[in-house]
Amino acid sequence: MSAYARLVEKAAEVQLVADSQALLGWDQEVLLPKGGVSYRARQMAWFSGWVHEQTTSAQWGDWIAEAESEIVSPSVEESANLREWRYQFERSTKLSKEWVEEFATAQVEAKAIWAEARKQSDFDRFAPSLRRLVDLCKEEAEQYGYEDVNYDALIQKFERGSSTRRLTEVLGGLRTRLIPLVEEAVAREKAANPLEGMQFSIDKQQQLNREIAEAIGFDFDAGRIDTAVHPFCSGMAPSDVRLTTRYDESDFLSSLFGVLHEAGHGMYEQGLVGENRGQPIGSSASLGIHESQSRLWENQIGRSLPFWERWLPRAIEIFPELAGVTPEAMHRHVNEAELSYIRVESDEVTYDLHILLRFELEKALFAGELTVEELPGEWNRRYEEYFGMPVTDDAKGCLQDIHWSMGIFGYFPTYSLGNINAAHLMKSAMQVDGIAKDVGKAEYASLLQWLREKIHCHGATYFPDDLIKRATGSYSDPDALIEHLRTRYL
Amino acid sequence: MSAYARLVEKAAEVQLVADSQALLGWDQEVLLPKGGVSYRARQMAWFSGWVHEQTTSAQWGDWIAEAESEIVSPSVEESANLREWRYQFERSTKLSKEWVEEFATAQVEAKAIWAEARKQSDFDRFAPSLRRLVDLCKEEAEQYGYEDVNYDALIQKFERGSSTRRLTEVLGGLRTRLIPLVEEAVAREKAANPLEGMQFSIDKQQQLNREIAEAIGFDFDAGRIDTAVHPFCSGMAPSDVRLTTRYDESDFLSSLFGVLHEAGHGMYEQGLVGENRGQPIGSSASLGIHESQSRLWENQIGRSLPFWERWLPRAIEIFPELAGVTPEAMHRHVNEAELSYIRVESDEVTYDLHILLRFELEKALFAGELTVEELPGEWNRRYEEYFGMPVTDDAKGCLQDIHWSMGIFGYFPTYSLGNINAAHLMKSAMQVDGIAKDVGKAEYASLLQWLREKIHCHGATYFPDDLIKRATGSYSDPDALIEHLRTRYL
């Protein structure tokens, strides 16, 4: 057996076990009785340890090296697998044991302190923990290595092939054009909430959500929808992809948009090639690509007029209280723009400003241009610059997100990449024969088929930027997103 | 670290992984999308292989040997652990690889052929498969070894310390006294079904079941109830014990008795000592002991008059249609006796006759006194002898159960052991100060506490027979069960 074949075989085994851990993780969020939490934590740790041991072993490294030398002219797929396996191996073996242990401890402590600090809107309390995490991540970047600036090494964890320079180019172009657009959009007159005072029972919401998820192409023979406090999607096997959502009995849109978003992630997972599971070519390309799929279905489709022309009548059958509402009113309602302090509560048009703010601050932190102590002041200054209103307290400002308390830096920009890629892909798809016509009738089979062929089936064969270029003919830029927002909001 | 300490540590790790497999198995029965089945099968196989590898390794064997010689005067617990680890190691290493593979193949083939044969009531079709499985299990018994007869080796898989002789003594005494009792019980005049024509929505059944499960002592902080085609209980962590039941909208008793039965298993699992998990002293004692717990709550408690005096009023609140029904009518209804061909549909009084029939036939098959070809004839002859009516076809006769098609012999008697032990334990508990009075008021905390102390907390420290003797002062015999059935049915 060749070294490459051994890698393929072993990777499939490791994935099989990692997928079992994914079920344990899913179950923990969805079903686990509270008494079972500590034992589950020990199980999760066992799996993490086992998987880490397999993929950082000397033997695994030897196989990679052997495979690299034994394959003289690799196929595109072989080349991609070896590229990613090499990259992952280097990364996971470069970190010292001391660093891994210190980081794990720092994460646990910071998360607890952050929760308290946020509750009391007391940044000073969180500052030492955050400083420690930033320092550790700077060390991490040094251990990983980078070409240009240390922040590059962190970005690569989530967005292979990308860089600070590339993200600055893409996201920077977005900011300058987004600020005036936001100003105009939020100034529009607000309509009354057409759902005001209505009640929507959970079982009926579930019925509607399921019908819609099925209609857009989520395969229930290969997936489920369940309930969780924080909605997520877990693709835990080639034909077992599980979404979760949460319910608000006074607003069926909350669970529905949750389902549309997670179903976008889920259809991507369902579109990966099952027989390549465990290999990079059978895995998703990046967070920015994953998010493009969720945002496409949530925003580009779910907030469009044809969608509501098709689905409002069915919603009225299920919730007769909705009888007087028109598709136009629903369309307007789901596209109201409003300034807010909190990222996760913000709408499609303002969302990316929240991300851009964080991206700029992370860059400055890692470039040594901003200290942790200066962070709240700089957050507030920039927030006012972007949004035109002052931040009243840090709980609504730089303490709002959990990411930094977990030592996650370089992740935020992938949210905006998702929005940009979604619009870029959608614009391209709409130029394909038949797709625009179908989408105009709220029929999505041809759109999904296009995404399957252009994005899903390739897994991580190509770097995200190249994948988008192959799919659309051009690298992502913010043009399509700005155009889309302008059409929708102005 | 001593060899014994290493065993304890490694056993806990193996259990942690086996418990993860238990979640995968539970999920497969309860939630898994149909597309996920084949991947899940591969995951299950991986876990079985990993666990088998750990507990049959030469190192594991060496540790057992070292521990046996290093501990000069073992405590009761150490002694029990070493006894069971030695026994399990011997068993799992004695079987040849060829045998394991041939048995696995024979099982798969037999199960498929049996399903077809049962559908067409065609025993001849199944006979060759059954012969092969019986022959393989005879070989298994030879490989395991036994003191008296080969069937002993099979019984030991499910009921440690027991034997053909011991079971013949216990169950034989039951048969002679049960046959006249059954005759009398089924001859009683039948009352009309008080639930006739009513409908019971699933969510209301769930509410009632949950309240009752909680009231008898099932801990929902350490467990759940879900839905599955074949009800079962899975204790997959010290504080994560999951029951399943199924629903019949025309009969709420079907799901309720399922819950009472499985909650009996579940409370046993919840009563095992969590910190001993992975060690025999933290595991259940045997199938016969497990079944005693389920049968105690299902039959001794769930079909008693005080139970219905307490719970019928609540059931009426939930299902107002029940308003005219009296506790006495419910009590009578849940204790109707009737002859039936099918074991799983039979009532408390006739159930054991079905088991005794199978036990006698298994004994004869393994003693070489009965050939597979003679099985249907002998089944039918004995059935008529026990039940007083002729068997019309093999689908309702010797083809009805799945067990033999899976090569499971020696398992059936544990069902009757469960009934016998349940009555024996109950009789003993009712003599303890306060318990009879509490049970008379349908308050069960003192009964559960007694079971916790006498049975649950000991795990497999003692052989099942000795455990019962320690709990009650005497070895199990059928007296208490006969007395109980006589009181209830005559």
Q: What is the pLDDT of residues A217-254, one digit of tens each?
A: 999 999 999 999 999 999 999 999 999 999 999 999 99
B224 at interface of A, judged by CB pairs closer than 8 A: yes
* pLDDT higher than threshold 90 for residue A167: yes
pLDDT score, position B447: 98
B220 CB neighbours in chain A (<8 A) are 33
pLDDT score, position B490: 85
Active site residues of A: 262
Locate tokens 């399943």: which residue?
B244
Distance, CA of A156 to chain centre? 15
The tens place of each residue's pLDDT in chain B, 490 residues long, gives: 899 999 999 999 999 999 999 999 999 999 999 999 999 999 999 999 999 999 999 999 999 999 999 999 999 999 999 999 999 999 999 988 899 999 999 999 999 999 999 999 999 999 999 999 999 999 999 999 999 999 999 999 999 999 999 999 999 889 989 999 999 999 998 999 999 999 999 999 999 999 999 999 999 999 999 999 999 999 999 999 999 999 999 999 999 999 999 999 999 999 999 999 999 999 999 999 999 999 999 999 999 999 999 999 999 999 999 999 999 999 999 999 999 999 999 999 999 999 999 999 999 999 999 999 999 999 999 999 999 999 999 999 999 999 999 999 999 999 999 999 999 999 999 999 999 999 999 999 999 999 999 999 999 999 999 999 999 999 999 999 999 999 999 8
> A80 with A155, same domain?
no
B325 domain residue, yes or no: yes
B291 domain residue, yes or no: yes
A114 domain residue, yes or no: no
Closest CA to A356 of A427, A430, A413, A317: A413
pLDDT band at A148 (very low <50, low <70, confident <90, very high): very high
Q: Do B34 and A219 touch (CB under 8 A)?
A: no
Question: What's the CA gap between A226 and A31, in Å, rounded?
Answer: 10
A40 CB neighbours in chain B (<8 A) are 237, 240
B24 at interface of A, judged by CB pairs closer than 8 A: yes
> B54 with B166, same domain?
no
A352 phi, psi to nearest 5 deg = -65, -25
Which H or E run includes B242? strand B240-245
Question: What's the CA gap between A154 and B127, in Å, rounded?
Answer: 66
How far is residue B462 from each of residues B5, B15, B23, B80, measured CA to CA in Å?
A: 21, 20, 28, 7
pLDDT band at A490 (very low <50, low <70, confident <90, very high): confident
> Span A161-178, mean pLDDT?
94
pLDDT score, position A97: 86
| Tens of pLDDT, residues B113-166 | 999 999 999 999 999 999 999 999 999 999 999 999 999 999 999 999 999 999
DSSP per-residue codes, A24-80: HHHHHHHT--GGGHHHHHHHHHHHHHHHHHHHTSHHHHHHHHHHHHH-SS--HHHHH
Closest CA to B169 of B466, B417, B460: B417
Domain boundary among B40, B57, B86: B86
Q: Do A224 and B33 touch (CB under 8 A)?
A: yes
> A240 with A154, same domain?
yes
| Tens of pLDDT, residues B14-67 | 999 999 999 999 999 999 999 999 999 999 999 999 999 999 999 999 999 999
> B312 with B394, same domain?
yes
Q: Do B43 and A32 touch (CB under 8 A)?
A: no
B373 domain residue, yes or no: yes
> A71 with A169, same domain?
no
Q: Do A221 and B32 touch (CB under 8 A)?
A: no
pLDDT score, position B51: 95
B271 at interface of A, judged by CB pairs closer than 8 A: no
pLDDT score, position A225: 98
pLDDT score, position A259: 98
> A306 with A192, same domain?
yes
B201 at interface of A, judged by CB pairs closer than 8 A: no
ipTM score of complex: 0.93
Q: Do A35 and B224 touch (CB under 8 A)?
A: no
A390 domain residue, yes or no: yes
> B240 with B323, same domain?
yes
- A442: alpha, beta or left? (left if phi > 0; alpha if psi -120 to 50): left
> A411 with A282, same domain?
yes
Q: Are B246 and B255 in contact (CB under 8 A)?
A: yes
B114-123 own/partner pairs: CB under 8 Å, 24+ apart: B114/B399, B114/B402, B114/B404, B114/B405, B115/B405, B117/B399, B118/B394, B118/B395, B118/B399, B118/B400, B119/B395, B120/B395, B121/B393, B121/B394, B121/B395, B121/B396, B121/B399, B122/B394, B123/B375, B123/B376, B123/B394, B123/B398, B123/B399
Domain count, chain B: 2
A223 domain residue, yes or no: yes
pLDDT band at A138 (very low <50, low <70, confident <90, very high): very high
Q: Are B319 and B297 in contact (CB under 8 A)?
A: no
Domain boundary among A64, A94, A124: A94
pLDDT score, position A214: 98
Domain boundary among A94, A121, A148: A94
Residues, chain A: 490
> A165 with A298, same domain?
yes
> A64 with A198, same domain?
no
> A390 with A463, same domain?
yes
B13 CB neighbours in chain A (<8 A) are 46
DSSP per-residue codes, B414-477: HHHHHHHHHHHHHHHHTTSTTHHHHHHTT--HHHHHHHHHHTGGGTTSS-HHHHHHHHHSS---
**Full domain range(s) for residue B228:** 148-490
Which of A16, A17, A221 lies closest to B33 in CB terms? A221
Q: Do A237 and B19 touch (CB under 8 A)?
A: no
| Residues in CB range of A223: below 8 A, 6 or more apart | A239, A240, A241, A242, A243, A266, A270, B33
B102 domain residue, yes or no: no
Which of B23, B46, B222 lies closest to A33 in CB terms? B222
Q: Do B16 and A42 touch (CB under 8 A)?
A: yes
* CATH code for position B207: 1.10.1370.30
Which of B16, B21, B224 lies closest to A33 in CB terms? B224
| Tens of pLDDT, residues B2-24 | 999 999 999 999 999 999 999 99
B223 CB neighbours in chain A (<8 A) are 33
Q: How many CB pairs under 8 A join A and B?
A: 89
pLDDT score, position B91: 92
> B225 with B81, same domain?
no
Q: Do B33 and A238 touch (CB under 8 A)?
A: no
A112 domain residue, yes or no: no
Which of B16, B43, B239 lies closest to A20 in CB terms? B43
| Tens of pLDDT, residues A412-439 | 999 999 999 999 999 999 999 999 999 9
Of B84, B262, B360, B362, catalytic: B262
